[in-house]
Amino acid sequence: MRLLTLRLTISLIIGITLISLFSSYYEVRSQKRALRRDLEHRAEVLGESLADKVEPLLKKGSRKELQIIVDQFGNREHLEGVAVYNPQGESIALTPGLAQRLTGEPAAVQQAATTSRGAGEYIRRGEVSVYIYAAPLHQEEAVVGALAIMHDASYINAQSRRVWRDTFLRVLALVVLITVTTLLIVRWSITGPIARAAQWMHALRTGKISSRPAASDLDLFRPLAREMANFAASLTAARSAAEKEAQLRQTADAFWTAERLSVHLRGKLGESRLFVVSNREPYIHKHQGKSVEAIVPASGLVTALEPVLRACDGTWVAHGSGDADRETVDKYDRLRVPPDDPRYTLRRVWLSKEEEEGYYYGFSNEGLWPLCHIAHTRPVFRGSDWEHYERANRRFADAVLKEMEGMERPVLLAQDYHFALLPRMIKKARPDARVAIFWHIPWPNPEAFGICPWQRELVDGLLGADLVGFHIQSHCTNFLQTVDRALESRIDWEHFTVNREEHRTVVKPFPISVEFPENAPPAEPGESVYMERVALLRELGIEAAFLGVGVDRVDYTKGILERFLAIERLLEKHATYRDKFTFLQIGAPSRTHIKRYHDLLGEVEAEADRINWRFQTGKWKPIVFKKRQHSHQEIQRFYRTADLCLVTSLHDGMNLVAKEFVAARQDEQGVLVLSRFTGAARELPDALLVNPYDIEQMAEAIRFALEMSTEERRARMQRMRIVVRERNIYRWASTLIAELCEVRLDEPANRLESQSSPPLAKSA
């Protein structure tokens, strides 16, 4: 610290001295120029005035009168004298004593006589600086001589020397003052806060109770303060997690945490590294004015997978879609995320607009998405889209292989229908890699999937994986039936495995979930929730006694139009809910430049307007449609205050909104109305299960939810929260990756023949 103080003091002294010297130099120059301009102006005014008096006397030839005039200027301040010259340069009148100081005709006199204009010059006479101004003398427009006025200019240099002297004294005083001030600042504002921060860190490290330093102490050391705070939070969280883990082990609790997952994955992965590949990236960098901001996209996939990557410091390979994404990566297209607390690596892959249009919007979302969701939207398959899909899968595979270089037995988890071809590509290049793909959307029956012209290529690509995961068992069954019809393979229906080309693929269900807020603050009493709902409705400009909520992308699989019709039917059949029940639909626009999605957004808005026009009165209306992306924090507020949540998907792999709503209800209130065509319906039977195509049934379910007793709501929500708590996202990740890590890569394909199992199905 002493060395720091000395360096800081010396640096400030040198810096201020140099700045003062430069400032003084320019000040002296400016003052010197100003004094010279003032002197030249006074000499010119005096010269022109005297010339008017001298010219008549010169015309009369009266040297005596001329001498009288020039004698008057011998004793003025800074004025050495006046001289009158004839055209031959001879002096005809001089101020007494001036002759000894002039050695000849000044150049300014010659210039004035030649140009017929006033002229000035500075000359040095020994140590004295003199300024001479010459004005031409005229008779009938002819130059008949010149008048010279000589000023002593040495006072200008004397003034400059005084400025330098004052500057030196001022700098000396500043140096002394700054030295003392610096020592005080270092002692009071740096040494003290550092000592207090060190004590805080020591207390945290040793497990002692210690309060965090004041914000002013931490703010002094930005950005070090941020890192100190994060480090302290990590220490506290790690210690808390260790204590929690010990408690869980002691009580044999099945609850999974990020810390427990981290330990579990490190044990399973060993020296291997985990890689995740998906189309959606967890952080998008976009220009916001003149700055760049990192935005977390609204995505169930990101919600589900980021805790996994945080837990094991893995690598996430994804499409870079933000307009500032290229500016934030290094030369290898990588960056560490999250921005405020880096825990894992994001590797971005770049696609052209044409490739993205064909691979993502075309084949993936106009082809595979409607094909796999039985929502009565016809899939569209184009040859050009398929070519882009193949090319994009190859580009992502190349990026993954590049990241895997130098690593033994890497573990890859590919995500969703965008990468059906990637597992086979990776497996061919890296047979030592353990490869899994999780299919987040439903898998239809083989007759429906047979519509796809490239079903054989897609299924073969998926079978390159060691493990194929779906949400529920029926999707696994549909997949194996599709394999049985599309490819030559050997299927073990008892163990749900496929043997093809000397490679064994396991097919299993892994119901995905959400993070459960185990360490969240205690639930607020019912009155507080009610007041929060009142405040929320006031912000929306609505007056209502009951509030329902729906949170979805605006997608034709989500059944948004059907739930609006159910709300309309409720108000038709049960008029008592008019002016009382309002439904808030949060609808994030999605894929809007695909015609079906663009049209759907207009249909949803039109239907909400129609129903509102029919029933709206005063400050009440039945439907509030919020057409924008909402942050997770914003949505949590709606979850906490709603009387019911409508999840009416026409077909869905899982639907995490249902589980998010349950996880958010720490007050153990609220009712979940859930489509039976979602994967979540298998795990949450205490929700009110409905057929979203049955409008009457949905309307009655809403009424039943609003009239349900507090005790029944609590009992249902308690049972659902137990399920979501025990089967949270960390358990999903641990089960999936543990299953993948147990795959025997060197297992021969004919191993199953030695097992006592039913005959293997064979398909041509």
Task: Provide CB contacts within 8 A for 9, sequence distance 6+.
Answer: 178, 179, 182, 183
Q: pLDDT value at position 30?
A: 83
Residue 425 has pLDDT above 90, yes or no: yes
Q: Residue 148: name the closest of 195, 55, 82, 62 by CA.
A: 82
Joined tokens for residue 212: 């965090």
Q: Do residues 95 and 79 lie in contact, with contact meaning Cβ atoms separated by under 8 Å?
A: no
Give pLDDT tens digits for 378-398.
999 999 999 999 999 999 999
Task: Provide CB contacts within 8 A for 490, sequence distance 6+.
Answer: 498, 499, 500, 752, 760, 761, 762
What is the DSSP secondary-structure string of 678-695? STHHHH-TTSEEE-TT-H
Residue 166 has pLDDT above 90, yes or no: no
Q: Residue 321: name the closest of 342, 301, 295 by CA.
A: 295
Q: Residue 623: name the closest of 570, 664, 670 by CA.
A: 570
Q: Kindly tell me the number of DSSP H helices and DSSP E strands found in the chain.
A: 27, 24
What is the DSSP secondary-structure string of 123-167? EEETTEEEEEEEEEEEETTEEEEEEEEEEE-HHHHHHHHHHHHHH
Confidence of residue 521 (pLDDT cuts 50, 70, 90): low
Q: pLDDT value at position 206?
A: 62
Residue 187 has pLDDT above 50, yes or no: yes
Quick one: average pLDDT of 5-15? Answer: 76
Cα separations in angstroms, 434 against 272, 314, 430: 10, 15, 9
Give the 3-state secondary structure of residue 445.
coil
Confidence of residue 235 (pLDDT cuts 50, 70, 90): low
Residue 747 has pLDDT above 70, yes or no: no
Residue 126, CA atoms < 13 Å, CB-side half-sphere: 5
Bigger pLDDT: 293 or 213? 293
Alpha helices in 252-382 (DSSP H): 258-269, 300-312, 325-328, 353-356, 369-372
Is the Cα torsion angle 25, 28, 31, 37 positive or negative in sign? negative
Joined tokens for residue 304: 């589900």
Residue 740 has pLDDT above 80, yes or no: yes
261-265, 297-301, 399-403, 558-562 — which is least confidently predicted?
297-301
Task: Indicate the burial class of 30 (C-beta count within 10 angstroms; 0-12, 13-18, 19 or more).
Answer: exposed
Q: pLDDT value at position 237?
A: 60
Alpha helices in 574-631 (DSSP H): 595-615
| Pairing mode of beta strands 334-337, 344-349 | antiparallel
Give pLDDT tens digits for 337-384.
998 889 899 999 999 999 999 999 999 999 999 999 988 899 999 999
Joined tokens for residue 650: 């026409």
User: What angle is formed at CA 730 by the lines to CA 727 and CA 733, rounded to 5 degrees?
Assistant: 100
> Alpha-carbon dihedral of residues 473, 477, 480, 486, nearest 10 degrees?
-140
Cα separation, 479 vs 443, in Å, equals 6
Percent of the chain with pLDDT over 90: 50
Q: pLDDT value at position 755?
A: 39
Q: pLDDT value at position 752?
A: 38
Quick one: average pLDDT of 309-336? Answer: 92
223 prior amide bond cis, ω within 30: yes
Q: pLDDT value at position 757?
A: 41
Q: pLDDT value at position 756?
A: 37
Q: pLDDT value at position 228?
A: 59
Give pLDDT tens digits for 660-694.
999 999 999 999 999 999 999 999 999 999 999 99
CB atoms within 10 A of CB 385: 21
Q: pLDDT value at position 754?
A: 38
**C-alpha of 726 from chain center:** 33
Joined tokens for residue 61: 């030839």
Give pLDDT tens digits for 111-162.
888 888 888 888 887 677 888 888 888 887 788 888 888 888 888 888 878 8
Query: What pTM did the predictor assign?
Result: 0.69
Backbone φ and ψ for 381, nearest 5 degrees, come out as: -120, 125
Q: Do residues 198 and 221 lie in contact, with contact meaning Cβ atoms separated by under 8 Å?
A: no
| Pairing mode of beta strands 79-85, 142-152 | antiparallel
Domains of the chain: 2-158 (3.30.450.20), 269-509 (3.40.50.2000), 526-727 (3.40.50.2000)
Residue 419 has pLDDT above 60, yes or no: yes
Mean pLDDT of the chain: 85
Cα separation, 529 vs 515, in Å, equals 22
Residue 608 has pLDDT above 60, yes or no: yes
Cα separation, 40 vs 47, in Å, equals 10
Confidence of residue 649 (pLDDT cuts 50, 70, 90): very high
Quick one: average pLDDT of 617-622? Answer: 94
Q: Do residues 275 and 313 lie in contact, with contact meaning Cβ atoms separated by under 8 Å?
A: no
Residue 137 pairs in a beta bridge with: 145
- Count of all residues that appear for the chain in the document: 764
SS3 of 409-433? CCEEEEECHHHCCHHHHHHHHCCCC
- Which amino acid does the sequence have at 390? E
Contacts from 18-27 at CB under 8 Å and sequence distance 24+?
Answer: 20/167, 20/170, 20/171, 20/174, 21/167, 21/171, 24/163, 24/164, 24/167, 27/163, 27/167
- Which amino acid does the sequence have at 259? E
**C-alpha of 442 from chain center:** 33
Cα separation, 347 vs 333, in Å, equals 6
